[in-house]
């Protein structure tokens, strides 16, 4: 059995998809945002020291997003990654609210169809979910492929944005 590394200190934010964890750097820029799950058997520690000024702003914007009244975030972001990951995450931010693209389309937008797997890995490594909208990338056949926050969260976000339609008792579909 492998031992997981300790979780970094994260501010906890309740939301309609569960508890989100947020981290900020010393300049007050958001560096991480993801759904926390108890499957690890532990919650991350709360950060010590004063609360970042941007935390209240993030809470209000997330509340508005989940209420359906906010489409574009303007929180200062500072994700950490390779040059290629940064290019992918910048491209993800160009996908408008209520729209999706396939992994193949993402690779084409990066001007190299052959980088589809690398683009998918970078998408999956996105440290700032929701604000860098990796949930808007789907399979070429319209399927909801993997999502770090869980497919239930991806489905919820796409329904919220009006992309995903669901018929009673049916599998989610992008094409209903």
User: Residue 151 phi/psi, 5° resolution?
Assistant: -65, -30
Q: Annotated catalytic, 115?
A: no
Token couple for 30: 């958001």
Residue of 62, 134, 144, 164 marked active site: 134
* Residues whose CB falls within 8 Å of the CB of residue 105, separated by 6 or more in sequence, listed in order: none
Token couple for 41: 């058997």
d(CA 147, CA 126): 10
List active site positions.
134
């Amino acid at each position: 059995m492998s031992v997981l590394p300790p979780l970094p200190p994260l501010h906890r934010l309740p939301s309609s998809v569960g508890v989100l964890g947020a981290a900020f750097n010393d300049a007050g820029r958001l560096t991480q945002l993801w759904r926390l799950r108890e499957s690890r058997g532990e919650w991350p520690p709360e950060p010590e020291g004063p609360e970042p000024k941007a935390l209240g702003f993030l809470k209000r914007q997330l509340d508005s997003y989940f209420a359906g009244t906010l489409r574009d975030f303007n929180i200062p972001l500072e994700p950490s990654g390779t040059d290629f990951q940064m290019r992918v995450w910048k491209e993800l931010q160009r996908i408008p609210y209520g729209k999706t693209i396939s992994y193949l389309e993402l690779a084409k937008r990066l001007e190299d169809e052959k980088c589809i797997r690398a683009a998918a890995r970078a998408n999956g490594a996105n440290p700032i979910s929701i604000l860098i909208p990796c949930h808007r990338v789907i399979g070429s056949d319209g399927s909801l492929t993997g999502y770090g926050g869980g497919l239930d969260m991806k489905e919820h976000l796409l329904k919220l944005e009006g992309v995903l339609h669901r018929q009673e008792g049916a599998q989610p579909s992008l094409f209903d």
